[in-house]
Amino acid sequence: MKPLKNIQNIYFIGIGGIGMSALALYFHREGKNVAGYDKTPSDVTAALQDSGIKVHFEDKKEGIDNSFSSKEDTLVVFTPAIPKMLSLIHI
């Protein structure tokens, strides 16, 4: 695993949860490129979007920006609340 300082992009699957959203905001404020997916829009996801974090709500690969396709500088974080099949999506 690469040192976190070498990671520029962090993509969260399940970004609308209280813990995941807090991590997303933290890394966004640290200057990382942050985005994510959540099943349902909520006040939490709206707040993330208001802070400049891109969130999409369709479980389709096309919703993921190409900047997250580099395995060298991208970290994908997912919550156990997401079904296993969705977590198998390869970015």
Side-chain-side CA neighbours of 6 within 13 Å: the count stands at 7
DSSP bridge pairs for 6: none
Q: Classify residue 40 by its DSSP letter.
A: S
Give the chain's domains with CATH numbers.
4-87 (3.40.50.720)
pTM for this structure?
Answer: 0.85
Task: Give the pLDDT score at 83.
Answer: 63
Task: Give the pLDDT score at 58.
Answer: 92
Residues 69/8, Cβ–Cβ less than 8 Å: no
Q: Which amino acid would we find at residue 83?
A: P
Listed range (18-22, 30-34, 54-58, 87-91) with the worst mean pLDDT: 87-91
